[in-house]
Structure 1
Amino acid sequence: MKILIADDEPMQRELLAGFLLKQGYAVSTAADGEEALVLFQREHPQLALIDHRMPGLMGDALLVEIKARNPLARVIMITAYGEVGTAVTVMKAGADDFLEKPIDLTQLLEKIQQIEQDLDIADDVAEVAETLAAGPLPMEIIGSSPSMQETLSVARRVADSPWSVLIQGETGTGKELIARLIHLLGPTPDAPFVEVNCAAIPENLFESELFGHEKGAFTGADRQRRGRFELARGGTLFLDEVGELPPLLQSKLLRALQEKRIHRVGGERDIAVDTRVIAATNRDLRAMAETGAFREDLFFRLNVLDVELPPLRRRREDIPELVAHFLKRYARRPTRVGLETMDLLVRHDYPGNVRELEHIIQRSLTLARGTVLQPKDLPEEVRQGPQVHQGALQERLDAMEREMLSAALAQVDWVQTQAAERLGISERVLRYKMGKHGLQRPKD
């Protein structure tokens, strides 16, 4: 990554440049704002470290000029100790972060590494968007929230791998959609994508469905039939609700994955299959493996790579975009959503996730009498607002943890070192938990 340092103090410039060069970054330095702007236009750095107080073009003015030339460029503003008001001002002007003097080099490196990760995610998501534009899926993948952007980035990274992928998420989060996306982003997008719903096929027919059968293998087998593994040869086999597989079939699936060979029911020979397996579940397979309800060796075989889909209640910022999408898809006349109605939609917990939101919009459009969706058009459970449910202990603990993190960060104006100190945890743990809960500094 290219980094531009703009600071009128020679010792500060040399210190920062020397440190960052040792970390492997390409660094250019400027003694004032005007020189920095020339270097920015010539060298196109991804990140600029800007001292706020410089002669001539001040740091906040330089920030505005940089963002005008490249809105995607990242900027960290360096402010004097205690200038909280200045920090707030530059954050509103578009700075991605700020540091107080004297600069903690460890903290600086952590912020730069976080920006690098954000840039990588943005690149992955842009590639996903290009792929979808070239060959659209049955439904758009909508989600600009940090947690959903991270999920799309992970999907992009695992797509090129030949290894098995386990997609985990609650019912209605879009696991099949992500499975199709991984297939589409992979090296063989034109190869077959074959889906098997493990919960919908009777146990006595499942082996034949998965591996096929020979003529006469059982009553009613009047002809040879290829199974889903063979039909997906060279492409992707998607095992939805894999946690519902009965124990006997778990062992046979494990063998097929290990040996890349299958055996048709009633057949006498093994058949080689070059098929990538993507599995999905709304159950905790790890916990099931620990209790013996799911084979541990099969869990590890399926979970070589994993993608976790966040529930809708943890990415509420995506709800208005999803609502607009469903309105466009299902409204038979131009319709919009009233402000109070949108507020209720955003506040709802959605135990059925995106699928539930889709059904709510379908129902509301059908029953609405006007062209503006009002609260009265929503189902009663949505109109009542968030309710206190006796949910799973972990979910309640997660909600409490998220509230504590948000409160601590807000109290110190989102300075992570200070928030971590208040919470009694390390800054690294704080960043992990912020990512887990999709917490980001508000833009305004």
Structure 2
Amino acid sequence: MAPAITTLAADAPTLSAANTGFMLICSALVMLMTPGLAFFYGGMVRVKSSLNMLMMSFISLGIVTVLWVLYGFGIAFGTDSGGVVGWSSDYLGLSGIGITELWDGYTVPVYVFAVFQLMFAVITPALISGALADRVKFSAWALFIALWATVVYFPVAHWVWAPGGWLFEMGVIDFAGGTAVHINAGAAALGVILVIGKRIGFKKDPMRPHSLPLVMLGASLLWFGWFGFNAGSWLGNDDGVGAVMFVNTQVAAGAAMLAWLAYEKLRHGSFTTLGAASGAVAGLVAITPAGGSCSPLGAIAIGAVSGLVCAIAVGLKYKLGYDDSLDVIGVHLVGGVIGSLLVGFFATGGVQSEAAGLFYGGGLEQLGKQAVGVFSVLAYSLVASALLAFLLDKTMRMRVSEDDEVSGIDQVEHAETAYDFSGAGGGAPSRSTAAPVPAAAASKKVNA
């Protein structure tokens, strides 16, 4: 996220209609990513869990939006308190903000900045849901979102992006969310699944995606929305940095997809659609923290490394025994770590800031800062998320019953099924076309 700029009164920025419009469009693109994520995850689960998977993402749009307006924006971006949290009474309910009041040092209104950051807050807990497919009560999940956003996301966003936040002041580079979004969500996913355990039949029953076209649709919407997610994080379009980030977003996603597919072909003998979608997302995750500080050639390297390493990482759950249903850890946690650390190698010192990485004469200083950011967010989110899951599991039980999990969580939690085939030729034949049943046969059928 772009750092605040100190200006003299004579140089005070004025509202830019162009930047304001640009940021509103970017906010809408980021909002679209949450339904895109719902489709991406929804296609990857078995058919009996697909509606629940969609809803686990979709509900975040409601819960986090309300909390953000009430107090979340204040905690994340209010006046700093000890580098850990912020607060401002003007941000309580967004009630004390003038309609043309500008975000400090920028040419866009506070309202625009608040709604853009809201969309980040919405999608981050939704990312966690992919690790918990098939087995979590919807009511427990909804409460977990509210608690996790309050205890984990809002403070971490302050650490990373708000003036005064301790990682921000240290000089950790996270252009658009490698630590605050992806590592945060991936570590949380690991913490929760260590508490709630594996799905019934993990490593025994086939748990293949029920709709790969839905997965590809979701991945495409994510890729599209990610341009707003990344390029919009510069909060304007005046100096070309956002344009570099836009290019690097596309480049890294493409390179990661190719690397993932190459690994698949060599390792398993096939180029899969799931691999293409997952590889692109891995590249998008990795470039999110790094794309504002590297060149397009650096973006190719970051994308290729993330595609290869994430493809390898998704198989670790079978070796290590943790049930990360849809590879949130393998893609988002690992991809976020890769992208954040590679800033320390590929930062050119000539785009987002003057900070240079090892390959551009900057030594190890920036890499050290990146490592502090990565592992502090990872550790805090892992521990806090595990504790929240433990408390919820002990008080209201997070998992559905074994019978409900086997029969299908959609019907149990939502009283619906994703697909109704009763009128699509799969039901009983109509009276007009059914062949008559002989009386003797009918008699035997009734007696049976």
Q: Same fold (TM over 0.5)?
A: no
Question: Highest relative contact order (Cα 8 Å, sep 6+), 1 or 2?
Answer: 2
More strand, by proportion? 1
Task: Point out the structure with max Rg over C-alpha.
Answer: 1
Which TM-score band applies after superposition, normalised by the shorter structure? under 0.3
More helix, by proportion? 2
State TM-score, norm by structure 1.
0.22
State TM-score, norm by structure 2.
0.22
